[in-house]
Amino acid sequence: MIESPPAWPNDIYASLKALGVRQLPYVPDAGHTRLIEMCLNDNEMRAVPLTTEEEGVAMLAGSWLGGQRGALLMQSSGIGNCVNMFSTIRVGRYPLLTLITMRGQWGEANPWQLPMGRNAAAILKLSGFQVLDLDAADMAAETVAAGGRTAFEANQMVAVLISQRLIGSKAFTPAEDG
Amino acid sequence: MWDPSRADRYPLRRREIVEHLIKDMDDLLIVAGLGAPAWDTTAAGDRDLIYPLWGAMGGTAMIGLGLALAQPNRRVLVITGDGDMLMGLGSLATIALQGPANLSIVVLDNERYGETGMQATHTAGPADLAAVAHACGFEQAATLYDEEEFDRATPTILEGEGPLFFAIKVRAEEPPLVLPPRDGAHLKDRFRMALLGPGQGVNPAV
């Protein structure tokens, strides 16, 4: 069965463009694949692959020091890698916009993803974030726009959690069954 | 293989190195890693375009990358320590891939964790930071051991085409504390206002 790709990654991309986001550090996630591709192909954006998510937190402090807006793309498992670096953002009253694709949530079949997925929102809130849930495709553009406005104009830490229900849960099909 | 005492005998002194690099170089955009590198830059003369860290261990070079990409026409100088660099080794791969021509990373390598009691780091053993940087893709990455090597490298650090990486072996010593302001928001806002204009403080107009 061939399905046409969902439009919400395009909507997020358009919202990031409208916000004037220029630096896009990321650790890949299947749910961010198309958004990352669009950003990599955009000459006005700098999409930067990271070796670990906390690099992106530090990088966005630097981008703001230099006058550019940015956003960090990661999956929920990366939140734990960032916790100490979030302190830099909080104590410096920096804006930080992060778009997080959720694992360990709706229909998760990999038990190793569950602990960080279940704790994602709580850890973010403890770290000082406003957490916005995105679980309906037609809300993608305005959720990212609203989060970006609060982040960049009110100097806040804002995380948009993109529901696994929206992305679709990953199937693990052993070869002998496939 | 692990020789925690050899750095006691290194000839280069951290305060002199930093003063030599940044004194009167007012156009430099400087990110100083937590602990002694931040105290060293402050001792050379605290100023708005120095962003000294009191935390963010492992993140100093990445702050430098974000700044260098945002300000491609300005020289960005990261001055940090071996402990901070060891915690962010992966960032060397990330930075080399982006290849910022205006970024220089200087590690003041005293082979110690200076803020926690001068315990030996991995660079007192076989770890070679410049070799890691080179292997990650820094075409210019070197370790400097004496004054002659440092003097020869200084113009490259300040003006050479980046990304550049220099580990400078400095004596394990604890010069008197010279502390920068502690408030992170103040340090950020003064940097942005000095670089981008007086309206770019807490509530930027952009």
pLDDT digits (tens, 9 = 90+) for A56-91: 999 999 999 999 999 999 999 999 999 999 999 999
Q: Which residue has the tokens 């020289």?
A: B75
pLDDT digits (tens, 9 = 90+) for A117-155: 999 999 999 999 999 999 999 999 999 999 999 999 999
Picking from A58, A66, A68, the nearest residue to B56 by CB comes out as: A58
pLDDT of B204 higher than 80 = no
What kind of fold does domain A8-165 have according to CATH? Rossmann fold (3.40.50)
3-state helix, strand, coil in chain B (%, to 5): 40, 15, 40
Over residues B149-157, mean pLDDT: 98
Q: How far is Cα A130 from Cα A96, in angstroms, rounded to an integer?
A: 10
Q: How far is Cα A80 from Cα A122, in angstroms, rounded to an integer?
A: 11
Residue A79, C-beta contacts closer than 8 angstroms, at least 6 positions apart: A53, A100, A116, A119, A120, A123, A124
- Chain A residues whose beta carbon lies within 8 Å of the beta carbon of residue B93: 51
- Chain A residues whose beta carbon lies within 8 Å of the beta carbon of residue B188: 61, 64-65, 92-94
Give the model's confidence band at B203: pLDDT under 50 very low, under 70 low, under 90 confident, else very high. Answer: low
Helices (H), A2-92: 8-19, 33-40, 53-65, 79-91
CATH of domain B6-196: 3.40.50.970
Picking from B56, B69, B93, the nearest residue to A88 by CB comes out as: B56
Q: Which residue has the tokens 């190793």?
A: A112
Give the chain B residue nearest A94 (alpha carbons). B185
For residue B173, give both structure tokens.
């010593």
pLDDT of residue B200: 78
Region of poorest pLDDT, from A32-36, A82-86, A111-115, B101-105: A111-115
Over residues B109-114, mean pLDDT: 97
Q: Is the dihedral of CA B184, B55, B137, B152 positive or negative?
A: positive
Give which of A65, A68, A91 to mutate to test B binding, by max B Cβ within 10 Å.
A65
Q: Which long-range contacts (CB under 8 A, 24 or more apart) does B9-13 make?
A: B9/B171, B10/B110, B10/B145, B10/B169, B10/B170, B10/B171, B10/B172, B11/B145, B11/B146, B11/B147, B11/B171, B12/B144, B12/B145, B12/B146, B12/B147, B12/B150, B12/B168, B12/B169, B12/B170, B12/B171, B13/B170, B13/B171, B13/B173
Over residues B94-104, mean pLDDT: 98
Give the chain A residue nearest B202 (alpha carbons). A155
pLDDT of residue B198: 86
Region of poorest pLDDT, from A113-117, A172-176, B2-6, B186-190: A172-176
Q: How far is Cα B61 from Cα B75, in angstroms, rounded to an integer?
A: 14
Picking from A54, A65, A69, the nearest residue to B59 by CB comes out as: A54
- A85:B70 CB<8 A: no
Give the model's confidence band at A167: pLDDT under 50 very low, under 70 low, under 90 confident, else very high. Answer: confident
| Mean pLDDT score across all residues of chain A | 94
- In this prediction the pTM is 0.96
- Chain A residues whose beta carbon lies within 8 Å of the beta carbon of residue B201: none
Secondary structure class of A51 (helix, strand, coil): coil
- A55:B62 CB<8 A: yes
Over residues A89-111, mean pLDDT: 93
pLDDT of residue B197: 92
- Chain A residues whose beta carbon lies within 8 Å of the beta carbon of residue B66: 23, 58-66, 68, 70
For residue A107, give both structure tokens.
């229909």
For residue B166, give both structure tokens.
């220099």
Q: Which residue has the tokens 């053993």?
A: B125
Instruction: Measure CA of the first residue to CA of the last residue in chain A; give whole Å.
Output: 15
| Mean pLDDT score across all residues of chain B | 96
**Interface membership of B38 toward A (CB under 8 Å):** no
- Chain A residues whose beta carbon lies within 8 Å of the beta carbon of residue B206: 20, 67, 69, 152
In angstroms, the separation between the Cα of residue B107 and the nearest Cα of chain A is 18
For residue B190, give both structure tokens.
């003064």
pLDDT of B36 higher than 60 = yes
Q: How far is Cα B173 from Cα B10, in angstroms, rounded to an integer?
A: 10
Give which of A24, A39, A53, A55 to mutate to test B binding, by max B Cβ within 10 Å.
A55
Burial of B156 (0-12, 13-18, 19+ CB in 10 A): middle
pLDDT digits (tens, 9 = 90+) for B163-184: 999 999 999 999 999 999 999 9
Over residues B26-47, mean pLDDT: 98
Picking from A20, A62, A67, the nearest residue to B62 by CB comes out as: A62
- A65:B66 CB<8 A: yes
Q: Cβ distance A152 to A97 under 8 Å?
A: yes
Picking from A60, A91, A152, the nearest residue to B184 by CB comes out as: A91
Secondary structure class of A112 (helix, strand, coil): helix
Q: How far is Cα A58 from Cα B91, in angstroms, rounded to an integer?
A: 10
Taking the mean position of all CA atoms in its chain, how far away is CA B21?
11
pLDDT of B133 higher than 70 = yes
pLDDT of residue B206: 46
**Interface membership of B73 toward A (CB under 8 Å):** no
pLDDT of residue B202: 62
pLDDT of A178 higher than 70 = no
